[in-house]
Structure 1
Amino acid sequence: MCYDDNARPPEPPKKNGKARGEDIALTAEDGNRFAAYIAHPEHPSGPQALILPDIRGLHQFYKELALRFAEVGITALAIDYFGRTAGISSRAEPFEFMPHVQKLRLSTLIQDIRAALTYLRTNTGADQPVFMVGFCLGGTLSYMTGTHDLGLTGVIGFYAGISRDFGSGKKLLDVAEQIRYPSLGLFGGADQGIPVNAVHTLDEKLSKAGFEHEVVIYPGAPHGFFDRRSADFAEASADAWRRVLGFIQAHSSAAH
């Protein structure tokens, strides 16, 4: 598990207004209804972030993360994964997520992501840059969305798992060379579930894809280091925020 109910995202480096958030439900093309949370900035700067949570789905950490993005001017939408198997009830602990995780399939996840992108483009701006921002399972999914024609501006993955295939039979390293958008990857050097040599292999495969990318490994940082409680890794968290916001700003400017 990436984050428990007590985890909170670190504060971004500089805020430029308040944020307003609300729980919503979205509907995919196949009729699946799933939970989501939208955060609106007081002073929108243009870019939009679609947040893909960790293995537990949409819980409080990601709602607060959406608000932190909105406080720096970025409209943020966080989605849940388990509408098809668990409905739209709360993902607070002690939600038994693993039986639902095992039923996830890339094809239906992409349907949900398309519905979320449609919501963003319909309600907050059809021509604005959109970035995927994923964590753990969502980090892998963020990269994998980069192999689909979704009209993204960039993909960002925190601690993207290398071995997950979402029932597709192809893992991240199998498809990395097909990613068609700029990407940013953030990893902990002491993450026991993601070997550093696998991260280096991902970096090499992204180079072959031909799109701008950056892979950052924070020495000594564990899985889930991006957490306000992790005082020992506050510097890594602050640097991760700077890199994420810098990536979004740079590619948003390039998109216009």
Structure 2
Amino acid sequence: MCYDDNARPPVPSNATGHSHGEDVVLTAADGNRFAAYIAIPDKPQAAQVIIYPDIRGLHQFYKELALRFAEAGIQAIAFDYFGRTAGLTTRDDSFEFMPHVQQLHLATLFADVQATLNYLKQTPHGKLPIFTVGFCLGGSLSFLSGTQNFGWAGVIGFYAGLSRNMDNQGTVIERASEIKYPVLGLFGGADQGIPAEQVHQLEQKLEETGVKHQIITYAGAPHSFFDRRSAEFANASTDAWKRIFTFIHTNSSK
């Protein structure tokens, strides 16, 4: 599990604006109804993001993360993975997520991504470039969605599982050559579940295909280092925010 109910995203230095957030229910093309949370900035800037949560789905960490993006001028929406199997129930620490994770499929998950994308495009700021940012399982899904024709401006992943093989369609490493959009990957050097060798393999694959990319490893940082409570990794979190905003700015200015 990446984040418990007490985890909170670090606050970026440029989160100086105001925002408001609201829970929404979206509907995919196959009729699946799923929860999402949108955060709208008072002064929108150059982009939007779709947030892919960790293995627990849409819990409080990701709602607050959406607000932090919006306070920096970036409209953000986080969505839940488990509408088909768990409905619209809450995703707090009591939620038994693993049975639902085991029932995830890329095709239906991408249908939910498309519904989220469609919703964003219908908002007043919907024409702005759209990026994805994911954590753990969500990091993997962020990168895998980069193999599809969603039209992203870029894909971002924190500690993305690189050996996860959903539906036997290939791991992130195996499918890296299919990614169509700029990539920003952020990893912890002390992450027990993601060996440095795998991170290097990902980087090599992206080098070979020529897709624009930046892969960063923070020495000594564990999985889930991006947490306001982790004071010893505050510098890594600050740098991660800076790299995200630079990546978004660079790839929005086309």
Bin the TM-score by the shorter chain: over 0.9
Separation of aligned partners in 1, 2:56 and 2:124: 27
Shift of residue 129, structure 1, vs aligned partner: 0.4
TM-score in terms of structure 2 length: 0.98
Equivalent residue number for residue 221 of structure 1: 221
Q: Does 1:37 align with 2:41?
A: no
Shift of residue 166, structure 1, vs aligned partner: 2.2
Shift of residue 94, structure 1, vs aligned partner: 1.1
Partner amino acid, structure 1, of 2:83: G
Shift of residue 168, structure 1, vs aligned partner: 3.7
Q: Does 1:17 align with 2:17?
A: yes
- CA-to-aligned-CA distance 1:1-38 (integer Å, 9 cap, x gap): 00000000000111241110000000001110000000
Equivalent residue number for residue 95 of structure 2: 95
Equivalent residue number for residue 138 of structure 2: 138
Separation of aligned partners in 1, 2:197 and 2:184: 17
The alignment partner of 1:185 has SS state of strand
Equivalent residue number for residue 70 of structure 2: 70
Equivalent residue number for residue 156 of structure 1: 156
Partner amino acid, structure 2, of 1:207: E
Shift of residue 162, structure 1, vs aligned partner: 1.0
Equivalent residue number for residue 124 of structure 2: 124
Tell me, yes or no, if the aligned pair for 1:133 and 1:155 is still in contact at 8 Å.
yes
Mapping 1:179-190, distance limit 5 Å: 179-190=179-190
Equivalent residue number for residue 239 of structure 2: 239
Give the unaligned 5+ runs of structure 2: none
TM-score in terms of structure 1 length: 0.97
Shift of residue 238, structure 1, vs aligned partner: 0.2
CA RMSD of aligned residues (A): 0.9
The alignment partner of 1:194 has SS state of coil
Partner amino acid, structure 2, of 1:9: P
The alignment partner of 1:115 has SS state of helix
Tell me, yes or no, if the aligned pair for 1:180 and 1:209 is still in contact at 8 Å.
no
Partner amino acid, structure 2, of 1:13: S
Equivalent residue number for residue 172 of structure 1: 172
Tell me, yes or no, if the aligned pair for 1:9 and 1:61 is still in contact at 8 Å.
yes
Separation of aligned partners in 2, 1:46 and 1:210: 25
Shift of residue 230, structure 1, vs aligned partner: 0.3
Tell me, yes or no, if the aligned pair for 2:184 and 2:213 is still in contact at 8 Å.
yes
Tell me, yes or no, if the aligned pair for 2:33 and 2:83 is still in contact at 8 Å.
yes
Separation of aligned partners in 1, 2:168 and 2:120: 27
Shift of residue 163, structure 1, vs aligned partner: 1.6
Equivalent residue number for residue 110 of structure 2: 110
Give the unaligned 5+ runs of structure 1: none
Tell me, yes or no, if the aligned pair for 1:132 and 1:156 is still in contact at 8 Å.
yes
Equivalent residue number for residue 205 of structure 2: 205
Shift of residue 169, structure 1, vs aligned partner: 3.1
Partner amino acid, structure 2, of 1:197: E
Tell me, yes or no, if the aligned pair for 1:54 and 1:138 is still in contact at 8 Å.
yes
Partner amino acid, structure 2, of 1:35: A
Separation of aligned partners in 1, 2:239 and 2:46: 23
Separation of aligned partners in 2, 1:44 and 1:241: 18
Tell me, yes or no, if the aligned pair for 1:35 and 1:80 is still in contact at 8 Å.
yes
